[in-house]
Amino acid sequence: MSKKSAYLGGEAESSEEENNSDSNSNSNSNSSSYDSSDSSDDEMAFLEHKMFDRAYLLMKLFLRLLKHLVFTTPKWVIMATRLFMFVICLLPGFVRFFWYYMVSGGVRRDIRYGPASRQVLDVYLPAPSEKNNNNKDIPIVVFVTGGAWIIGYKMWGALLGRALTSNNCMLVIPDYRNFPQATGEEMCEDVDVAVQWVLRNVGTGTRRSEFSDVGSNKKVVLVGQSAGAQLTALVLLKKAMQSVQKREVQSSKSSKPRYQRPPNPRTLRRWSPGEIRGFIPISGPYDLVSIKDFMHQKGLDKKIISHIFPDLIGASPVHVCDEIREQMNVCSLKSINSRWDFPPTCVIHGSEDQTVPHEMCGRFSGKLRDIGVESEAIIYEGWSHTDGILEGPMEGDHRLHRDIFDRVIFWTEGGRDEGKDIRDNKHSFDDKCRLCKPLSPSCMIQIGRSVNPF
């Protein structure tokens, strides 16, 4: 099987190969037999080689990252220590959701969506039942995790997976390359390719992959948290920008486009934002220009940020919105097409976020409205950068999960198209189910909040 067919989910074996295999096995059934011990040895050797390659890559990347950190602000040591203490305080909850992640039959891990080392994703499936039509036509949520572009990992979304699958939604969490393995542009490319894979391989009704009959690719909602929110917003906005640029060229072919930094075609795959039913960015740094010094004070050195994003303006969603607005003025567009250029959006933030100031939430939502996007902003009082995805769910507080679920149902089950209110949803979020119960003692969570570096 070629790499391409492997990560596109295609059938690699041809019928001719199957026939040859059958004939060979029949003709040689007496002369040669399947040696299971040799096969086991070969498989074990392959796994050991794969583990060695991965360990070597991790060590190489760690040394490269350490080289960058040595010549930066020493505050990262303090923040790393606080992060370690934070993990220890929440360890009972981490152990339980790690166990769920590893042994649950509803989690399909490491599905490849591209050829690069970290271009893999996890799929969370609800238990098939008559109620959800055996998982056919259910909504699909694609969640891009955060991690300061350095420590991001797909398993960070396991708590969201537990909550959504308990309420008959499917969750896909793509991994993506982190710094120093990749730049911000390459991270955007990973997110772009992952969304492309989901739209072309999940819920399609074809036989392209094992998930073709699960969910509906007409009901896909994107969710991003922290760095994942910034990357996902950037991908969507650059696609919207590309659409506006096409109209600008059509309206005035003789004039030179005013925008001098066109999107990289590698990061703009064939899928359209019109295929996405909604977008929920959470706690995202949408203006890297203004937040660069603030993040430097928090331990993420400005030199590292510049390595990740050499062009801070082009990597800041609020500034990309301004550039789209300028292009719209050139070609006399009052607003972008809210149906095809950008999905309806709900921007979410915590009021006590110590990593990204919550004012950025309202600012980004306002910039989206300026270009014609249907957008709302929600601020959770008293919540930090991670309360919605970690401390809250571990304590049994599923406000964020409920708000995500409500909007997924509203956007995908016809409520928005029919002009209804979100409170009239056909389904409501059940936070009393077994997988939504508290995972850690409240006292440990409160101690964890006191040392939380975020």
Give, to the nearest 10 degrees, the angle between helix 442-451 and helix 75-89: 180
Statement: residue 242 has pLDDT above 50: yes
Q: Could you read off the pLDDT of 382-421 as tens digits, one per residue?
A: 999 999 999 999 999 999 999 999 999 999 987 666 667 7
- Do 251 and 194 form a contact (C-beta atoms < 8 A)? no
- Structure-model confidence comparison of residues 384 and 20, the more confident one: 384
Q: CA 249, 336, 220, 401 torsion: positive or negative?
A: positive
- Angstrom distance (rounded) from CA 350 to CA 348: 7
Statement: residue 19 has pLDDT above 50: no
How would you classify the pairing of strands 107-112 and 276-282? unpaired
Q: How many CB atoms lie within 10 A of CB 400?
A: 26
One-letter amino acid for residue 279 of the chain? F
Domain range list for the chain: 41-71, 72-252+278-451
What would the mean pLDDT of 327-348 be, rounded to a whole number?
Answer: 78
Edge-to-edge order in the sheet of strand 107-112: 107-112, 120-124, 170-174, 140-144, 220-225, 276-282, 345-350, 375-380
Q: Which residues, 6 or more positions from 303, have their beta carbon under 8 angstroms from its beta carbon?
A: 68, 71, 72
Residue 286: per-residue pLDDT: 96
| Biggest alpha carbon–alpha carbon distance for the chain | 78
Element spanning 377, H or E: strand 375-380
What would the mean pLDDT of 207-229 be, rounded to a whole number?
Answer: 90
Average pLDDT score over the chain: 80
- Which two three-digit tokens encode residue 293? 């010094």
- Which two three-digit tokens encode residue 124? 């969370």
- Structure-model confidence comparison of residues 337 and 159, the more confident one: 159
- Structure-model confidence comparison of residues 332 and 267, the more confident one: 332
Residue 254: per-residue pLDDT: 45
- Angstrom distance (rounded) from CA 13 to CA 63: 41
Which range has the worst mean pLDDT, 11-25, 137-151, 195-209, 385-399? 11-25
- Angstrom distance (rounded) from CA 236 to CA 241: 9
Statement: residue 337 has pLDDT above 50: yes
Q: Which residues, 6 or more positions from 449, have their beta carbon under 8 angstroms from its beta carbon?
A: 384, 387, 391
Residue 44: per-residue pLDDT: 52
Q: Which residues, 6 or more positions from 31, have their beta carbon under 8 angstroms from its beta carbon?
A: none
Give the model's confidence band at 186: pLDDT under 50 very low, under 70 low, under 90 confident, else very high.
very high
Residue 21: per-residue pLDDT: 43
- Which two three-digit tokens encode residue 389? 């995805």
- Angstrom distance (rounded) from CA 164 to CA 223: 12
Residue 213: per-residue pLDDT: 85
- For the chain, the distance separating the N- and C-terminal CA atoms, rounded to the nearest angstrom, is 44
- Structure-model confidence comparison of residues 376 and 247, the more confident one: 376
Residue 35: per-residue pLDDT: 46
Q: Could you read off the pLDDT of 46-96 as tens digits, one per residue?
A: 445 555 555 555 565 555 555 555 556 567 678 788 888 988 999 999 998
- Angstrom distance (rounded) from CA 357 to CA 366: 16
| CATH code of domain 72-252+278-451 | 3.40.50.1820
Residue 8: per-residue pLDDT: 46
C-alpha distances (whole Å) from 354 to each of 21, 298, 350, 365 are: 61, 8, 9, 20
- Which two three-digit tokens encode residue 350? 């915590």
- Angstrom distance (rounded) from CA 280 to CA 222: 6
